[in-house]
Amino acid sequence: MKIKLFPVALAALLVAMSPAPAAIANQPTQADPQIVPRSESVAASPGGAVTKLPVQRLQGLDPTISQGRADCARVAQQARTRGVTATSTCVGIDIDPAPKPLTAEQRHEIETVYPECSQTATPNTGWWAGSRRDACSHQQFGITVIEVPSGVLVGTANMHAILEMTASGAGWSSVIGMWVWGFTGLGFPEFASGNLFGCGGCVGSSSLTKTGFDTWRGTGSFQATNLAPGTILNNLGGFWELSIGSSKWSNSVLVSLNLASYRCDNAIGNRSAGCVFANIPGVAGFSQSLNPDFVWHVYNAQLSGLPGQLSSGSYLTKLDNATLVNQNGTRACPSSIPRPSGYQCDEYPFRSTYQGAATGGGTQARSFPWCQMPDPQQTGSSGWSRCFIPAGQNLSAGGLLGAFYSNERILDGDLFQVGYLP
């Protein structure tokens, strides 16, 4: 059954939510195939060692809880003040501010079920992603059971949750796993329920089931349905809401574990709508065997100081304005420069970036002896490089760059770097 979801922007995820939220989820679907995967197959230099691409921190809100141990201490104090004699419990849940490192056994248990999240095993540090479509988050939180009215601590539990997000088309799937690592007294949680809440104009469903004595697993998905052509929806969000309880407790506790910020758009003319983590830079990989002259020019341009080399800390920024793109191309490769037969002018940074010849702020062209260009060799981060390369390679590389932009949903202002494939 499809259920319409409430509007939610990440900046206001837990306020002014109307209409009332509805839960979502489905079995995760496969991510879109990638022409140039952001993987460890991309190297920073032609023929160089494979560069390990680090996971990167994503934007997101901190988890929220219904009440914590301090709240329950106040409840017990108020009960004593009122002269309450009947015994009950107050249960609180708190995000652990300094979680202990996972043991080898705990890491093994997590990696067996969620191998793709093993690299983000440090809890409570937010969401981490290695691509524009996949991310993980780890959270540890503690449960305390306080006797009312005495205020005596009668139970504790240490819990761990893993969340995953995977984009597929104009929607996301999310998986959550939850463990009880240890408990004392009345602290063991016997049951839990959960729902996934997503973006405005989304539809879907969700579920959370108990998979063992002390483990739960939830699956969910949501699909954006309000993406008319040209639409770009930034800073979207969502969250898993978990209710945890026990027959020995007088109340259940509620924790909301937030998804990372993401973007959905229908702004790429040759593709259907889709979603990505917009603040994760893309990585374009160009084959040195397919286009060797192009790769050699771009790589040497990067070595001369121009931005965008993989793992360099500098980036290229996508430019969509067609007029400015043309101005970049005209300045970098004016028609006044005679072309050798069978060759075309190749420029770096690419004309489709804000670092291009006209929009980048540089004033000087540079080149290399083998490029048949009238420009000197020089270094520095400003300016542009140009080189005559075989026309077939120039056209091939341009097509691959366009495919990268389209497949990775690189829109105006998005960052990316350039690496190399065999």
- Closest to 185 measured CA to CA, from 93, 99, 255, 248: 248
Assess whether 238 and 313 both reside in one domain: no
> 3-state class of 11 per DSSP?
helix
Q: 365 is in which domain, residue-wise?
A: 282-421
pLDDT digits (tens, 9 = 90+) for 68-83: 999 999 999 999 999 9
Q: How far is CA 30 from the centre of its chain?
A: 16
Rg (CA), the chain: 27
Assess whether 301 and 413 both reside in one domain: yes
Assess whether 93 and 19 both reside in one domain: yes
Prediction pTM value: 0.85
- Closest to 244 measured CA to CA, from 155, 166, 175: 155
pLDDT digits (tens, 9 = 90+) for 80-115: 999 999 999 999 999 988 888 888 888 888 888 888
Is pLDDT above 60 for 357? yes
Assess whether 244 and 264 both reside in one domain: yes
Q: Which residue has the tokens 């969502």?
A: 238
pLDDT digits (tens, 9 = 90+) for 221-258: 999 888 999 999 999 988 999 999 999 999 999 999 99
Helices H / strands E in the chain, number of each: 5, 22
Q: How many domains does the chain have?
A: 2
Average pLDDT over residues 353-357: 98
Beta-sheet strands, E only, within 296-405: 316-317, 343-348, 365-366, 384-390
pLDDT at residue 293, rounded to an integer: 98
Separation between Cα atoms, residue 332 and residue 306, nearest integer Å: 14
Q: Which residue has the tokens 């489709």?
A: 352
Domain boundary among 240, 257, 276: 276
Assess whether 270 and 361 both reside in one domain: no
pLDDT digits (tens, 9 = 90+) for 316-349: 999 999 999 999 999 999 999 999 999 999 999 9
pLDDT at residue 270, rounded to an integer: 83
Assess whether 27 and 136 both reside in one domain: yes
Assess whether 249 and 308 both reside in one domain: no
Sequential DSSP letters for 304-368: TT-S-BTTSS--EEB---HHHHHHHHHHHS-TTSPPPTTEEEEEES-TTBTTSTTTS----EE--
Separation between Cα atoms, residue 417 and residue 298, nearest integer Å: 12
Distances (CA, A) of 26 to 6, 116, 134, 244: 17, 20, 17, 22
pLDDT at residue 371, rounded to an integer: 97
Domain boundary among 244, 276, 308: 276
> 3-state class of 399 per DSSP?
helix
Average pLDDT, the chain: 87
Sequential DSSP letters for 123-148: TTS-EEESSSSEEEEEEEEEEEEEEE
Domain boundary among 257, 276, 295: 276
Assess whether 104 and 66 both reside in one domain: yes
Is pLDDT above 70 for 313? yes
Assess whether 173 and 320 both reside in one domain: no
Is pLDDT above 90 for 185? yes
Assess whether 172 and 293 both reside in one domain: no
Assess whether 332 and 225 both reside in one domain: no
pLDDT at residue 15, rounded to an integer: 23
Assess whether 211 and 316 both reside in one domain: no
